[in-house]
Amino acid sequence: MLDIKFIRDNKDLVQMGAKKKHIDFDVEELLKVDDKRRELISEIEKKRAEQNETSDKIVRISDPVEKSEMISKMQALKSELQKEEEELKTVMHDWQSLMVRVPNIPDMSVPEGNSDEDNKEISTWGEIPKFDFTPKSHMELMENLNMLSLERGTKVAGFRGYFLTGDGARLQFALWQFVNDYFLKKGDWFPMIVPSLVRREAFMGTGYLPQGEEDLFKTQDGEFLSGTAEVSLMGYHMDEILDKKDLPKKFIGFSPAFRREIGAHGKDTKGILRVHEFYKFEQVVLCEASHTESVKFHEEIQANTEGIMQALGLPYHVVINCAGDLGLGQVKKYDIEAWLPSENKYRETGSASYFHDFQTRRLNIRYRDDDGKMKFVHSLNNTALSGRPLIMIVENYQNADGSIRIPDVLQQYMNGQKIISKK
């Protein structure tokens, strides 16, 4: 959420940002509602002051006729006040509905574009493997090695359901242990296992609601199943005032993740590239309200994820997302896409974003600066590990006989095992 004063002072910039993001939003409509809101608040405050003044006078009046006239006047004033207060409730509802739809302004370095097809490659790492055989898909490889059961997954969990079995489960556990140790060795990241069943307020605060509700699983009690630990991690300090000396706060959170994939009908229907349920490590940073600090930590969390991919030996490239591929609150975003041999192309494994105070203003997370002024902290997040690197390892490390080499950094977590082959 942007500050309404900032919106009023920079309405052309905000409208330009919405246009660049290809988000349909009319700033003038919001400002008209805000004018009405301000007018009503002013009138209500005047009438309340007049009402208090009249009440004080009535107490001091001894003449019955004059007192009766003053009481009648106050009753009429009270009636007018009640009408304006009811009108303000309606106006505030409209105002709040518009405010949560105002998109954040993309950074100047964000390229123009409509969709992910317009994202720009900015770097590559690793050599794309050259096989002297036709590479198999992760589905074929994993099912042949008893690492994956799709048929039983569908039987138990429905469409996009799956079981990781045997060495498939062990390899996934190894990945989690490796990532946990990776951040543990850095020393300044606070590990957390967070809820995936989360109340609406945290989803509103992070910007996943109200626009993205159709892609969330919802319980009969009104909670939602989160698609990322980001939601819980950001809600952790909701409605709190932090000490400046404690900033930045760096969290590495782990949780199950759930996505309905409503907008992915017909996409990636085979295998486990796109599923309803998976597990995820997420980086979240809360820092001082400084663009320079946000940019610095954006590069840091990006470097962390690239470090993990490099340690795993997975070839990847990094793209900067065009404005049309940014979410409502994102100022700038990078995607990491790892090489998938069976498709002969890169596929996304994670995204690094910063938001300035868009999320923290909604969540009311503040701190006092050195001058004692209250400010909203800035927030950032990035995927440390999703479910997809498992797939990329299986395909990039495959052999002609269908066996899979285990990356060196993971062997210690698999009791020294170097290769997965048919038992």
Active centre residues (catalytic): 259, 274, 348, 351, 388
CA gap 242, 363 in Å, rounded: 13
Q: Which helix (H) or strand (E) holds 305?
A: helix 291-311
DSSP line for 68-134: HHHHHHHHHHHHHHHHHHHHHHHHHHHHHHHHTTPPPPPPTTSPP-SSGGG-EEEEEESPPP--SS-
φ, ψ of residue 282 to 5 degrees: the values are -130, 135
Sign of the Cα pseudo-torsion (234, 237, 241, 245, in order): negative
- Closest to 160 in 3D by CA, of 178, 139, 177, 175: 139
CA gap 385, 391 in Å, rounded: 12
**Look-up of token digits 């930590």:** 297
- Closest to 228 in 3D by CA, of 384, 390, 1: 384
φ, ψ of residue 96 to 5 degrees: the values are -65, -40
